[in-house]
């Protein structure tokens, strides 16, 4: 069973912080727990796996096209729920893919 990103995340960021700070905290949480799947987000109207992966890797979505995703330090998966929404899960696997 995956631990919710909300449960595993550090204390909420101070008011006025940027979205990039949120992604940095999420990356840190994932890196501190390699191989563990976390619920990145839920109740999404569309499958946003590509956007989540690009945010975690710190690159724009078009930069991921043509890259073998097995070489990236993060893995992302999604699940379509019965109500038609999506939940997206992410985990850190490291540069050497030791957790694959």
Model-level pTM? 0.69
Query: Where in the chain are the domains?
Result: 3-92
- Intervals of the chain under pLDDT 70: 1-19, 96-100
Measured CA distances, 25 to 40, 71, 82 (Å): 12, 22, 30
Alpha-carbon distance of 69 to 46, in angstroms, equals: 20
Q: Please report the pLDDT score of residue 32 as a whole number.
A: 92
Q: Please report the pLDDT score of residue 4 as a whole number.
A: 41
Give CA angle at 48 (46, 51), nearest 5°: 145
């Amino acid at each position: 069973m995956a631990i919710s990103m909300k449960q595993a995340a550090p204390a909420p960021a101070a008011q006025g912080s940027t979205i990039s700070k949120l992604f940095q905290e999420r990356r840190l949480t994932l890196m501190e727990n390699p191989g563990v799947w976390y619920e990145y987000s839920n109740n999404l109207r569309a499958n946003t796996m590509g956007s989540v992966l690009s945010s975690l890797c710190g690159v724009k979505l078009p930069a991921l096209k043509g890259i073998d995703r097995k070489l990236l330090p993060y893995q992302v998966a999604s699940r379509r729920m019965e109500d038609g929404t999506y939940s997206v899960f992410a985990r850190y696997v490291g540069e050497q893919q030791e957790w694959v």
